[in-house]
Amino acid sequence: MSWTLFLGVFLYWNIYMLTSKIKKQIIEQAIAQPSQEICGVILTSGDIQPMENIAQDVQHNFLFNADEFDKVADSVVAIYHTHCLDSQPSQLSAVDIANSKASKLPY
């Protein structure tokens, strides 16, 4: 399996900590869906909210359902996702960086 979490450097470490509980939950989600990019959000409560990936190509992209995201948007501190088939899974893509800047949320 060649997926990696994109969180560590991108979270505001002085406010929120990437806990072992959060890492474990995200890893379990990724293991359960190894052939697609998994995605979700980290909430101010320290919990994660997995999101359904509704992208047309779930092996190379992720996309949230807007209604699903809107339900938790006020509590989101970061977005997470994996790259399941990427040759450089630990690197954010140019699209990831642009989307992170546009959403003003760390990836």
pLDDT tens digit sequence for 54-82: 989 888 888 889 899 999 999 988 888 88
pTM: 0.73
Residue 94 has phi, psi (to 5 degrees) of -60, -35
The predicted structure's pLDDT at residue 9: 35
| DSSP code for 74 | G
Residues of the chain with pLDDT under 50: 1-15
> CA-to-CA distance for 34 and 66, rounded, in angstroms?
24
The predicted structure's pLDDT at residue 14: 37
> CA-to-CA distance for 16 and 80, rounded, in angstroms?
14
Strand order in the sheet with 39-43: 48-51, 39-43, 76-81
The predicted structure's pLDDT at residue 86: 60
